[in-house]
Chains A and B, each alone.
Chain A
Amino acid sequence: MRYDDGKDCFIYIQHEHGVIENGSLELITKAKELLSDTEENVVAVLLGTLDQNTHDTLADYGADAIIVCEHPDVSAYDCLNHAAVLTEIIETHHPKSFLFPGTVRGRELAPRISARVHTGLTADATRIELDNDEGQTHSLAITRPAFGGNLFATIITPDHVPQMATIRPGVFEMKKVNTPYAKRIDHTTDVELKSPIEIEAIIPKENDNASIADAKLIVSAGRGVKDCLDMVQHVAKTLNAELGASRALVDDGVVAKLSQVGQTGSTVRPLLYMACGISGALQHTAGMDKSETIIAINNDPAAPIFDVADLGIIGDAKEILTHLMRRLDVSNTP
């Protein structure tokens, strides 16, 4: 789409049952930080019901304004109906950029809109900067990993608006910034909402390890502990930690895909990440190197995981885990 320049950064608010997806709040915080010295606003776009609590939350994390469409046919997520209304919102308000959390839904929805409005979309980005080069004002330079994390590419969209991107959840911090007030803008839709997709059932995930991206503590296993995975799981359980895994173990089929940390898995930034028997290929470290503290255990002194570790232990993971379990179980006994 081409309209004159455009203004403001729009953020898609993914939500369900009154809970806002962290990925959306992270984007609000990040956009607010980037645009704080400009005239541009951070605008949260929410399809569904905006109650006071939700309104306050969006303002707390940095939204200057909230566009809300309360039409009943968009209150629950539907890719086609959401694409239709969001396109209408773009055509009405002419945002300069439109960011989506890189969740399953964000990555299903955003491409459809970018095709419809003829604009550029960057996938699963991990870095956003302001780009004032070449006569651009407050455009975004958006960096994303490619080739399994071996290469990073910085993408711009110089001639189309809005510039669109999906941003990997967990990469940016969500922070309350105390925006005193977020203006509410109601959007009444005129488009015909006629998605033929019907939801027949929603099945909650049995093994709730899906929260690995939000975990505060992760104990992660690599090929070096394949033969003592039960010990890693035991330590994780005792510490109330989530179990993570390298791509190797997931490819081997011994750990579920949702536990995978790295470029093709989840990006995590827990307070503490303990890597057991993980060599630390870029594929893996790119997804965990922002963890606040990293403990690495590996028997190979040259393992690249030690390059990102705060505590690096060269040794046999099985033996170390045995001692750790013993100590944890002792202190766990009343």
Chain B
Amino acid sequence: MNIAVLVKQVPNTTEIKVDKETGALIRKGIPTIINPDDLSAVEVALKLKATHGGKVHVFTMGPKSAESMLRELYARGVDDATLLCDKAFAGSDTWSTSLVLSTALKRHRFDLVIAGRQAIDGDTAQVGPQVAEFLGIPHISYVDEIRGVDATHCFLRKKEEKQSMHLKCPFPLLITVLDGIAKPRYMNMTHIFNNASRDVEILDNDALAIEKADLGIKGSPTKVKKTYAKSITKKTTAESLAPEDAAERILAVLREKGGMPDAL
């Protein structure tokens, strides 16, 4: 089974700070990581490969510096890695990004494409489904278990708010997976040694030949009108209270707001 995995290098958002004056993101010195959902996607792919054979090929679109992330994935056991890197791609929204990724994927034949549910910097969850549409294959989002695979079909569990669905879909298809689907493995020393000098395939738009009008900020249907950091309004001052008094105050608010159950 040949599997493609879509990955993204993201800033570690738990360490992100915003300049309150300008509302701009302070990116300086922020460490980058592989997007957590994507790491789970890689793990799922490696597990499927271990059981069913085939190859795992990771794709990312990003700056040249994303190459280090792909090398790290070699060390985890992926077979091939492609970086889609071109100035023309910079500033692309999800529509344009998906066009780039799908154009690169079309150079190969994959049975299964796996993407993480969403990236922690953008949280859009849109690139996976949009890539599937551009590839003309079905997609299922929010998959939290691969229940099985046979020669022709994939059996999946999709997680919704109030229920889970067991779905069956023929290959080829694209799925987006939740980070709970698999616990990523550690890097393997043998893989690290064997792959230290392995090349990452780097493709620019000369190779992909996408219409310039569909790329970057200009080619993106959505435009950012403005960005700003969130401000918080102060409502009251907090008070130090003895536990008994605190409990009474809480009960009073509960009563006032109708929060006490009828029985009480």
Contacts and interface: CB of A to CB of B under 8 A. Distances in A.
B94 A312 contact: no
Contacts of A312: 236-239
A141 interface: yes
B246 A323 contact: yes
In the complex, which of the residues A104, A202, A322 has the most CB atoms of chain B within 10 Å of its own CB atom? Answer: A104
Interface in A276-304: 282, 285-286, 289, 292-298, 301, 303-304
Contact of B260 (A79, A141, A239, A326): A239
Contacts of B221: 114, 118-121, 157, 159-160
B259 A152 contact: no
Contact of B165 (A124, A199, A286): A199
Interface in A131-175: 131, 141, 145-160
A111 interface: yes
A307 B23 CA distance: 20
Contacts of A201: 165-166
Interface stretch (A27-35, A223-231, A313-321): A313-321
B29 interface: no
A198 interface: yes
A1 B232 CA distance: 39
B199 interface: no
Nearest to B170: A196
A30 B179 CA distance: 33
Contacts of A293: 253, 257
B160 interface: yes
A203 B163 contact: yes
A239 B25 contact: no
Contacts of B222: 120-122, 155-157
Contact of A307 (B139, B157, B234, B260): B234
Contacts of A254: none
Contacts of B158: 104
B144 to A, nearest CB: 10
Contact of B168 (A114, A121, A200): A200
A104 B223 contact: no
Interface in B219-247: 220-230, 232-244, 246-247
Interface stretch (B65-73, B80-88, B120-128): B120-128
Nearest to B247: A323
B227 A120 contact: no
Given A115-B133, A310-B236, A151 B253 contact: no
Given A116-B133, A272-B257, A197 B161 contact: no
Nearest to B249: A311
Q: Contact residue range for chain A? A: 35 or more
Contacts of A103: 160-161
Interface string B246-260: 111111011001111
Contacts of B130: 111-112, 114-115
A107 interface: yes
Contacts of B243: 315-316, 319-320, 322-323
Contacts of A274: 250
Contacts of B13: 147-148, 150
A121 B223 contact: no
A98 to B, nearest CB: 13
Interface in A193-240: 195-205, 208, 210-211, 213, 216-217, 238-240
A324 B95 contact: no
B173 to A, nearest CB: 8
A151 B139 contact: no
In the complex, which of the residues B129, B165, B221 has the most CB atoms of chain A within 10 Å of its own CB atom? Answer: B221
B239 A328 contact: no
A38 interface: no
Given A112-B139, A289-B232, 11 more contacts: A79-B138, A111-B125, A112-B130, A120-B220, A150-B25, A204-B163, A282-B230, A293-B253, A307-B232, A307-B233, A309-B238
Interface of A: 79-80, 83, 103-105, 107-112, 114-116, 118-124, 131, 141, 145-160, 195-205, 208, 210-211, 213, 216-217, 238-241, 257-258, 263-264, 271-272, 274, 282, 285-286, 289, 292-298, 301, 303-304, 306-316, 319-320, 322-324, 326-328, 331-332
Interface of B: 11, 13-14, 16-18, 23, 25, 93-95, 98, 120-130, 132-134, 138-142, 155, 157-170, 180, 220-230, 232-244, 246-251, 253-254, 257-261, 263-264
19 contacts: A112-B132, A115-B95, A121-B94, A141-B225, A148-B120, A150-B16, A151-B227, A153-B227, A200-B167, A201-B165, A210-B162, A274-B250, A301-B240, A308-B235, A310-B236, A311-B249, A315-B241, A324-B246, A328-B264
